[in-house]
Chains A and B, each alone.
Chain A
Amino acid sequence: MPLIAGVLPFSMVAGIAAVQVGFTPLESVMFSVIGYAGSAQLIAAQLFGAGSPVALIVLSSLVVNLRFAMYSASLLPLFGGVPTRARWPLAYLMTDQAFALTMGRPDTETDPARYYAGAAVPMWLTWQAGTAVGALLGARIPPEWPLDFAVPLSFIALLVPVLRTRPQLLAAAVSGVAAVAAHDLPFRLNLILGAACGVAAGLWAQRAGRRAA
């Protein structure tokens, strides 16, 4: 439940952000249904507003959503008896929150796939409802309000919990500096450049840490 309460404002920001860069409310809702990717939706809206080409927007969403590949690999051992036709919808419903809940499920839980679905479905419903409300509100908000700031604030709320290890802290620091240094690049290419520098620095720190241990 506390996770759902946290997702609702985030989904509303996603709905507002899409409408403010020129999506219709219907397109904004369909983006949530088809994409169903919180951070990637916000980034895509920002890049769309900056006039980036489609290929770059899709590439950025690939980078941001790479973590799903990691979740997918981690969940695989828990989905042993689940047939392929059920795996597609379960994969579609994957979120950071559903993954975290499933990995931290109580020991008494005998059916992890069912537990995962129980976490993922309410999350999906919350997200769709929130984006719809945001998309309808977005058109009514006076443009002089600095509501665009809600987007980086949502990212701050996501960033803080993933800064747990030294390599992750270094990756974030290097990435932030590089993204600012390269802010003059067109189409917000500083995002991909910064992220690549950050991951490289984090990998270096992981390797150095292992050698020291």
Chain B
Amino acid sequence: MPESDLKAPREGPANIEALRGKLSEYLECAGRPLTFMEVCGTHTVAIFRSGLRSLLPEGLRVLSGPGCPVCVTDQSEIDMALSLAKRDCVVLTYGDMLRVPGSSGSLLKMKGEGAAVEVVTSAIQSMEIARKNPEREVVFLGVGFETTAPATAVTLQQARRNGLDNFSVLCLHKTVPAALSALCSNPDLRIDGFILPGHVTVVTGLDEYAFLTKKLRRAAAVAGFEPEEILACMTDLARQVAERDFRLSVWRLKDVPIEGNPAARRILSEVFEPCDARWRGLGVIAGSGCRIAEPYGEFDAVRKFGLDPAEDVVDNGCRCGEVLSGLISPPECELFGRVCTPLAPVGPCMVSSEGTCGAWYRYHQ
């Protein structure tokens, strides 16, 4: 990216009140109500927890987009994981995925019924488990965006190096830029600016998002997780729109390497190749998924077990898809807070503590 496209924070986070004043000024300059979207579960929670939402000036709407990897995992993908547990595989997953509903129950429910479903905190642990259980097929659920995909990639490299033949990965990783591109092409949704996720850009670098400002003429900026950083980011988004000066900027205390993490990017491109992926509620987005590349094909659970994602989803009234694409806010769903609560979630956005519905339920009621 040319140097000129990157603006260093001009006045630091200043204080909340001063930033809020500036934000109002730019909104007035823009001359119409603006809609921003954040695409990171941690931003969702940070905005609720800090009370930032109540401080936002009139004429600014902030939506929570598809930023929580648990929430965007499609029902058909969960169904594939459930079918592996039914086949007597040892299914290893990050804890967040346990309660996400498929079309017939969740991994947690299957665990309760005796299936071998275990929680790991790092992909690499799943290799150890495979090594200790040579008589069992061990499958790791690769879920998450660019922050967790490198961990899965390293694990696949190690599995190949060690010649583990009872280990495979159900690769459900997704990439953020392709989803933002898809959201921008939705005519029902007019998003003026994106608050970009801090940690994902640590891996990808900023270049991957340049299409937002350059090609699509949308405002975009990276924010950290402090309220000042998020507010400063929103202020700059409003400035970009008001001045029609669309340039990526960074509002983050800790330095984001502009080029991303070269080692992680190298490993990602070696182990994965882009594929079309199905996002919950958003449908299939071209080029937004990670498929295990050929040299590692024997570790691909989809190929190993001949899995076939079902196209039909069971309609249970859940409107997470519309929540994820910013078309409705959680209370507009008939199930929200009545049938669907954090204790008895119907949809994934209520399951995850970083999901929009979960955060809304905790901080809004």
Whether both chains belong to one complex is answered with no
Using a CB–CB cutoff of 8 Å, the interface residues on chain B facing chain A are none
